[in-house]
Chain A
Amino acid sequence: MKKYDINNTDKETLGKWYYLMTLGRALDEKAPSYLLQSLGWSYHAPYAGHDGIQLAMGQIFHKGEDFFFPYYRDMLAVLSAGMTPEEIILNGISKATDLTSGGRHMSNHFSKMEWHIENVSSATGTHDLHAAGVARAMVYYNHKGIAMTSHGESATSEGYVYEAINGASNERLPVIFVIQDNGYGISVPKKDQTANRKVADNFSGFKNLKIIHCNGKDVFDSMNAMTEAREYAIEHRTPVIVQANCVRIGSHSNSDKHTLYRDENELAYVKAADPLYKFRRMLLRYKRFTEDELKEIEAKAKKDLSAANRKALAAPDPDPSTVSKYVLPDPYQPTKYPDGNPKQDGEKETMVTALNKTLKAEFRHNPNTFLWGQDIANKEKGGVFNISKGMQQEFGEKRVFNAPIAEDYIVGTANGMCRFDPKIHVVIEGAEFADYFWPAVEQYVECTHEYWRSNGQFTPNITLRLASGGYIGGGLYHSQTIEGALASLPGARIVYPSFADDAAGLLRTSIRSKGFTLFLEPKAQYNSIEAASFVPDDYEVAFGKAKIRRPGNDLSIITYGNTTHLCLNVAEQLSKEHGWNAEVIDLRSLIPLDKETIFASVKKTSKVLIVHEDKVFAGFGAEVASILGTEMFRYLDAPIRRVGALFTPVGFHPVLEKAILPGEEQIYKAAKDLLEY
Chain B
Amino acid sequence: MKIGLFYATGTHKTASVARKIQQEFGENIADIIPIENASQKDFEAYSHIIAGSSTWFDGELPSYWDEILPELSTLDLSKKKVAIFGLGDQKGYPDNFADGIGILANEFLSRGAILTGETSPEGYTFNQSQALRNGKFLGLVLDIENQPKQTDERIKGWVKQLKEEFKENKTGPEDSFIC
Chain A interface (Cβ < 8 Å from any Cβ of B): 5-7, 181, 183, 196-198, 215, 217-218, 245, 247, 269, 272-273, 278, 281-282, 285-286
Contacts and interface: CB of A to CB of B under 8 A. Distances in A.
Contact of B57 (A247, A285, A286): A247
Contact of A197 (B56, B67, B73, B96): B96
Contacts of A198: 58-59, 95-96
A449 to B, nearest CB: 35
Contacts of B62: 272
Nearest to A272: B63
Nearest to A270: B57
Given A197-B93, A197-B95, A245 B71 contact: no
Given A6-B70, A286-B70, 6 more contacts: A197-B96, A198-B59, A218-B66, A272-B63, A282-B70, A285-B71
A215 B95 contact: no
Interface size class of B (residues with CB under 8 A): 10 to 19
Contacts of A247: 57
B165 interface: no
24 contacts: A5-B70, A6-B70, A181-B58, A183-B57, A197-B58, A197-B93, A197-B95, A197-B96, A198-B59, A215-B60, A215-B66, A218-B66, A245-B60, A247-B57, A269-B56, A272-B62, A272-B63, A273-B56, A273-B57, A273-B63, A278-B66, A282-B67, A285-B71, A286-B71
Contacts of A269: 56
Contacts of A218: 66
Interface of B: 56-60, 62-63, 66-67, 70-71, 73, 93, 95-96
A670 B96 CA distance: 71
Given A5-B70, A197-B95, A285-B71, A278 B63 contact: yes
B82 to A, nearest CB: 22
Nearest to A281: B67
B167 to A, nearest CB: 36
A219 to B, nearest CB: 11
A197 B57 CA distance: 10
Contacts of B63: 217, 272-273, 278
B134 to A, nearest CB: 23
A196 B95 contact: yes
Find the residue from A197, A198, A269 having the highest chain B CB count within 10 A: A197
Contacts of B59: 198
A308 to B, nearest CB: 31
A335 to B, nearest CB: 62
A557 B26 CA distance: 100
Given A7-B73, A197-B95, A245 B58 contact: yes
- Across the A-B interface, the 5 shortest Cβ-Cβ residue pairs: A6-B70, A197-B58, A278-B63, A197-B95, A245-B57
A278 B36 CA distance: 12
A304 B66 CA distance: 32
Contacts of B67: 278, 281-282, 285
Most A CB within 10 A of own CB, among B58, B95, B96: B58
Contacts of A183: 57
Contacts of B58: 181, 197-198, 245
A6 B68 CA distance: 11
A285 B71 CA distance: 9
B55 to A, nearest CB: 12
A7 B62 CA distance: 20
Contacts of B66: 215, 218, 278
A269 B93 CA distance: 16
A217 B73 CA distance: 21
A247 B57 CA distance: 9
Contacts of A272: 62-63
A538 B67 CA distance: 70
A197 B63 CA distance: 20
Contacts of A5: 70
Nearest to A220: B70
Contacts of B57: 183, 245, 247, 273
Contacts of A281: 67
A285 B36 CA distance: 10
Contacts of A215: 60, 66
A286 B56 CA distance: 23
Contacts of B96: 197-198
A373 B31 CA distance: 70
A196 B62 CA distance: 22
B151 to A, nearest CB: 19
A392 B120 CA distance: 62
A454 to B, nearest CB: 37
Contacts of B93: 197
A65 B62 CA distance: 37
